[in-house]
Amino acid sequence: MARVVVLGAGFAGLWAAIGAARKRDEIGAAGRDIEILVVDRNPYHNIRVRNYEVDLSKVALPLSQLLDPIGVGHRLGDVEAIDVGRGNVTITANGAHESIAYDRLVLALGSAVPRPDIPGLAESAFDVDTYVAAARLENHLVALGRRAPAPERTTVVVVGAGFTGIEVAAEMPDRLARAGVAGGRVILVDPNPVVGATIGEHARPVINEALAALDVETRLGVRVEAMDAAGIRLSSGEVVPTQTVIWCAGMRASPLAAMLPVERDRLGRILVDPFMRIADLAHIFAAGDIASSVVDGLHPTVMSCQFARPMGRFAGYNVIADLTGEPLLPLRIDWYVTVLDLGGWGALYTEGWDREVRTTGAAAKATKQIINHQRIYPPLTGKKEDLFAAAAPTVQAPPPRKASGSQ
């Protein structure tokens, strides 16, 4: 019996597991002696890109619903070590250590928001990096609605004006109102001189227009020096009374990537080839936020489900093909879009690596809703054939978009 182990059940890991099961099924009798096992610390697949939203009821999908119908095992545990020489991984579950041997390995351990050593950050800040963290923030916002009026109660500070921070800040006025916090104030903090420093000059004016319409304040060119349960201190000397600081300052690949003796990029990601293989490490593939692959001959992938999902599908197909001596399929993606949620104002839809603006407002919001609520979801029918159809090693066409001004 050969074993394929997939570490992580996020967008890349889930689709790697389903893609591997699909390929195993496709090869028929030769695949009966192949076990596929997913290891994750949670018993669910988190639709992570929706963690900034107020409704979290459908963002944690039970793995049993997705993996049991296709004969894929799943084990709860934290990955502690990867021994490439011996071909095994060590996990911790319920305080006990366990070694799991593999014949092929897929690393899909994702990314996390780094938390620097800022006084009070670990104890006082919220984030939306995980489902648990997002639920904690939502419970906190609901609790604010029951507290006595005070400046620190109605003020929310979002740190990090990148994609996640902008979405969190833009959604926050509506979230505060729904929580019963009248007169909510939202402040977006970033060390760069502009909002969305990495998003590009074409998109930035639209983002600024939306934030202004939503009354989101900005504090740019400043850093956080300290915080506690009552407020936050900025490098400008300003102290903002607040009970809600949300940390959205960047992403880094899982620190487990550093365990492997391979080249990594500035975000800590492992470099992989078009087949999702790690150079110089036999039998190991990587996909999603922990990996970087040049997908169009020029541009490396970015940390998003737009790339994690196809990377996972191709990694799953190729890990079985590699195990059985069949040809591998290269991943090529020749389009790139960005759809940024801007709360009650609408959204922003861009195309191309220069992020040329195509639609804004309500039209772009309609596209964002299709993506967040339909396109990135696995089939929930519980049927093997539906899951396998969605896991085909292909690249979806760009999401549909309406012209600006259409309803």
Q: Is 0.85 surpassed by the pTM of this model?
A: yes
pLDDT score of 168:
98
* CATH entry 3.50.50.60 includes domain 2-112+252-334: yes
Q: Which amino acid is at 53?
A: E
For the chain, state the CA radius of gyration.
22
* Residue extents of the structural domains in the chain: 2-112+252-334, 121-247
Cα separation of 45 and 119, whole Å? 33
Low-confidence residues of the chain: pLDDT under 70: 403-407
pLDDT score of 151:
87
Q: Which residues pair with 136 in a beta bridge?
A: none
pLDDT score of 148:
86
Q: Which positions ≥6 away from 368 have C-beta within 8 Å?
A: 339, 340, 341, 347, 349
pLDDT score of 401:
77
Per CATH, 2-112+252-334 and 121-247 having the same topology is answered yes
pLDDT score of 321:
98
pLDDT score of 403:
67
* In the block, residue with structure tokens 């006025």: 173
The half-sphere exposure of 396 on its side-chain side, counting CA atoms within 13 A, is 19
Which class would CATH give 121-247? alpha beta
